[in-house]
């Protein structure tokens, strides 16, 4: 798992690939064709004989050098009420949101999930011990998975170096890829079993302090116009989101996330870096996400962390994690979901089985 100082929210540079200019640009329709709030989108849906609000969500590229969260809120037609921020992934820097508030151009209130969790750990030593034991078990599981993963990747790479292209070699390559995908699935199931065992034994929902925090969090979110989730340490962020039941609390709220925030809200958290300061540079499954951004693998800082011009590595990444779309999230990237379906994108590309980068498909 990443070290505490390894952050996914360094707010990278402007997307080096540009916009495809093929109609996939986020909210790119002319103003007159976009109903709803001026400059925004239609935020209501007519179903069952009545209007109901659409659930709008957006996944963005890193925000420091190419801040887009404020304009995206405007385009989504989000009301001018205050914005709820989640910066738990920043750990000790949680709540230092002056710069972010400037980008939002709205009043903000941070949920303080990291601080709330630390207060609970301090007040309930038995729960803290159970929580830390779970994390220790997950860390050991990740170490063993990584050992197996190194061999599985090496076997696939050796077969790819075979000079012959006959049917026998092709079949063995496919078998090696299946073995790699099976390893990923098994590892994710084991992670889920560890989480389930912790929930059953520790029963965090029975702690009145946690329930009290949940009620306060639900009130804050319920009176907010939208929720934005920044990056940082993805596992710490995801664990705090789980601890306070944010998956259900955020179910019908407009949510915008970037970097580790986007990773935590996907189906699977995939850690990746082709040239890390230490280690083998092999992408690995780290956890199950909250599935607010279904069917995709977010890749923050893809231009910096992945060898996107190496077609063999790009192809393996896309084939290994398919059928999910592996999406580059460099500076300026925007991906919009409406009611759980990927609708529109800007400056965002998907890794393909052929090893190329292509515009993102709507779902």
Neighbours of 310 (CB within 10 A): 13
CA-closest candidate to residue 269, choices 284, 283, 256, 286: 286
Angle formed at CA 318 by CA 68 and CA 4, multiple of 5 degrees: 55
In a domain, 87, yes or no: yes
Please check whether residues 334 and 233 belong to one and the same domain: yes
Identify the CATH number of the domain in which residue 301 sits: 3.40.50.880
- Rounded to an integer, what distance in angstroms lies between the CA atom of residue 299 and that of residue 258? 10
- The count of residues in the chain is 363
Helix or strand holding residue 72 (H, E): helix 69-75
Please identify every stretch of the chain with a pLDDT value under 70, giving residue numbers as ranges: 1-53, 279-280, 363
Query: Cβ(355)–Cβ(160) under 8 Å?
Result: no
* pLDDT confidence of residue 119: 97
* Number of domains composing the chain: 2
In a domain, 159, yes or no: yes
CA-closest candidate to residue 225, choices 363, 104, 138: 104
The answer to whether the bond into 185 is cis (omega within 30° of 0) is: no
* pLDDT confidence of residue 80: 75
Please check whether residues 174 and 247 belong to one and the same domain: no
Q: Which token pair is 338? A: 């409406």
In a domain, 211, yes or no: no
- Rounded to an integer, what distance in angstroms lies between the CA atom of residue 76 and that of residue 8? 25
Terminal-residue alpha carbon distance, the chain: 31
In a domain, 343, yes or no: yes
Please check whether residues 146 and 239 belong to one and the same domain: no
- Rounded to an integer, what distance in angstroms lies between the CA atom of residue 116 and that of residue 135? 18
* pLDDT confidence of residue 187: 98
Please check whether residues 54 and 106 belong to one and the same domain: yes
User: Of 206, 240, 259, which residue is a domain's last?
Assistant: 206
Please check whether residues 69 and 106 belong to one and the same domain: yes
Neighbours of 14 (CB within 10 A): 14
Neighbours of 67 (CB within 10 A): 20
Residue 161: is it exposed, middle or buried by C-beta count within 10 angstroms (0-12/13-18/19+)? exposed
Q: Which token pair is 319? A: 């084939």
Helix or strand holding residue 329 (H, E): strand 325-329
Q: Which token pair is 242? A: 């789980």
Strands 325-329 and 296-300: parallel
* pLDDT confidence of residue 53: 59
Neighbours of 154 (CB within 10 A): 13
- Where in the sequence is the domain holding 291, given as residue range(s)? 1-113+226-363
* pLDDT confidence of residue 18: 31
- Rounded to an integer, what distance in angstroms lies between the CA atom of residue 297 and that of residue 250? 20
Specify the pTM.
Answer: 0.84
Query: Cβ(265)–Cβ(229) under 8 Å?
Result: yes
- Rounded to an integer, what distance in angstroms lies between the CA atom of residue 321 and that of residue 244? 29
């Amino acid at each position: 798992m990443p070290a505490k100082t390894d952050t996914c929210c360094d707010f990278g540079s402007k997307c080096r690939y540009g916009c495809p200019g093929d109609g996939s640009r986020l909210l790119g329709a002319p103003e007159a064709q976009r109903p709803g709030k001026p400059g925004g989108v239609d935020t209501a849906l007519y179903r069952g004989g009545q209007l109901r609000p659409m659930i709008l969500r957006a996944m963005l590229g890193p925000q420091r050098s190419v801040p887009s969260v404020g304009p995206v809120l405007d385009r989504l037609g989000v009301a001018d009420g205050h914005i709820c921020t989640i910066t738990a992934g920043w750990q000790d820097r949680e709540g230092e949101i002056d710069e972010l508030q400037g980008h939002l151009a709205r009043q903000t209130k941070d949920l303080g999930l990291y601080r709330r969790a630390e207060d609970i750990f301090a007040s309930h030593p038995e729960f803290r011990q159970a929580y830390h034991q779970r994390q220790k078990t997950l860390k050991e599981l990740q170490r063993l998975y990584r050992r197996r993963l190194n061999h599985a990747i090496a076997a696939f790479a050796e077969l790819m170096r075979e000079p012959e292209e006959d049917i026998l070699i092709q079949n063995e390559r496919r078998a090696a890829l299946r073995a790699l995908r099976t390893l990923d699935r098994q590892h994710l199931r084991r992670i889920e079993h560890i989480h389930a065992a912790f929930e059953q034994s520790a029963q965090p929902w029975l702690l009145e302090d946690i329930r009290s925090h949940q009620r306060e969090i639900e009130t804050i979110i319920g009176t907010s116009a939208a929720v934005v989730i920044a990056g940082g340490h993805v596992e710490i962020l995801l664990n705090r989101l789980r601890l306070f039941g944010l998956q259900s609390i955020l179910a019908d709220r407009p949510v915008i996330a970037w970097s580790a925030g986007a990773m935590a809200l996907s189906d699977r958290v995939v850690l990746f870096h082709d040239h890390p300061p230490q280690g083998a540079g092999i992408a690995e499954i780290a956890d199950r996400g909250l599935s607010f951004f279904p069917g995709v693998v977010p890749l923050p800082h893809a231009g910096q962390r992945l060898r996107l011009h190496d077609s063999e590595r790009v192809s393996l990444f896309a084939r290994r994690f398919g059928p999910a779309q592996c999406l580059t999230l460099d500076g300026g990237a925007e991906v919009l979901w409406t009611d759980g379906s990927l609708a529109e994108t800007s400056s965002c590309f998907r890794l393909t089985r052929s090893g190329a980068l292509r515009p993102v498909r709507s779902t």
